[in-house]
Amino acid sequence: MKILIIEDEKKVSDFIKKGLEYEGFIVEASYSGKDGINRCTDTSFDLIILDLMLPEIDGISILKTVRNAGIDTPVLILTAKGNIQDRINGLNTGADDYLVKPFAFEELLARVRALLRRSKKDKQTHLKFDDLSIDLITRKVTRGEKNIELTPKEYSLLEFFVMNKNRVINKITIAEHVWNYNFDRGTNFVEVYVNRLRNKLDADYDKKFIQTIRGYGYIFRTEKK
């Protein structure tokens, strides 16, 4: 699940980003209205967290632009402007929820999950691959009847693999999508994480999902060994 934060206060943005990443979400941060609008049009986001007071273009204008463009990604407004008129205005413009600063991270997380659950109701909430099943909301992973306990990063990596199943993906692409790195520090850590995931996911089974393409990357597909 991919979330965009449009928030000019770097401290607040970093705090949310870190917390959501720990929960296994993939998070991108935007610090201005103009940049925010550009990124919103990328419809691969599952949720947008939007501040109202931003440089260049304010949050309400962003929301109007996004909705007028027919983009129905859920939007959670997060702002210090908490009076009733502001809230009504935000919701009338097309926001799905409204949270006033200062806020508790736990409440933000609960609202994020509720919005995702609601918006995915008629859409995809599970990924299936062979005997593997992933609940995209609770991030519960099972293979056959067995629960597989993953760390947040291992989970993000697995989700990325399954979304790109049967396709060769190189390590740089993985690093960029799962870790959001602009890549210049080697791919060693990708290998480390892939091996950890492999131990939890494949080690006990005849059918292996993660295949290494030597010198390049990986492909996620069913292979009997």
DSSP label at residue 124: -
SS3 content of the chain, % helix, strand, coil (to 5): 40, 25, 35
Partnered with residue 98 across adjacent β-strands are: 77
Can you tell me the distance from the alpha carbon of 219 to that of 222, in angstroms, rounded to the nearest whole number?
Answer: 9
Cβ proximity to Ca ion: between 8 and 191 the closer is: 8
Nearer to Ca ion, 23 or 51 (CB): 51
In terms of CB distance, is 98 or 155 closer to Ca ion?
98
User: E strands within 59-206?
Assistant: 75-79, 97-100, 126-129, 132-135, 141-143, 146-148, 168-170
Closest to Ca ion by CB, 8 vs 21, is 8
In this chain, which residue has its C-beta nearest to Ca ion? 53
Q: How far is the CB of 66 from Ca ion (least distance, A)?
A: 18
Nearer to Ca ion, 14 or 204 (CB): 14
DSSP symbol at 172 = H
The distance of closest approach from Cβ of residue 89 to Ca ion in the complex, given in angstroms and rounded to an integer, is: 16
Q: How far apart are CA 170 and CA 187, in angstroms?
A: 10
Nearer to Ca ion, 5 or 158 (CB): 5
Nearest to 194 by CA among 160, 146, 148, 224: 160
Minimum gap (Å) between residue 54 Cβ and Ca ion: 6
Give me the least distance between CB of 4 and Ca ion, in Å please: 15
At closest approach, how far in Å is the CB of 147 from Ca ion? 41
Question: Least distance from C-beta 63 to Ca ion, angstroms?
Answer: 14
Residues that bind Ca ion (CB under 5 A): 8, 51, 53
Instruction: Give the strand pairing for 47-50 and 141-143.
Output: unpaired
